[in-house]
Amino acid sequence: TGPLEVPQTYTFDLDAGGVGVAGADIWFHAVTNTELYLEPRSGAQMAVGDRSNRGRDGCAAASFSTARVALSAVPVGSYVCVRTNEGRISQFRMNAISSGSPKTLSIGYTTWQ
């Protein structure tokens, strides 16, 4: 459990809690200054659902996908469930998205064993 600051084009790992590390779970993919995505990497999967705080059990029951998600679909205050590439259930909250370009995401995450 902890906070992460994720610069545009970087990856983040929800098992180890790192940014820009090998084997990361999610990529903050910038196609252009305005076309931005969260993309599962290395076998991880995401489930946006209704963007509510579902906790471990709610996330464990979510419908996961390897599809990328437009950043616009995950506004500040949204929760996203993740099945990490190590098979753990995780959830992160979008706490802030910086203005301007390049952007930085501020998230808070919890990963369960």
Q: Model-level pTM? A: 0.96
The pLDDT of residue 86 is 97
Residues 6+ away with beta carbon under 8 Å from 61: none
Question: What digits encode the pLDDT tens for the residues 35-85?
Answer: 999 999 999 999 999 999 999 999 999 999 999 999 999 999 999 999 999
Burial (CB count within 10 angstroms: exposed 0-12, middle 13-18, buried 19+), residue 2: exposed
- State pLDDT tens for residues 39-52: 999 999 999 999 99
pLDDT of residue 4: 98
Taking the mean position of all CA atoms in its chain, how far away is CA 49?
Answer: 13
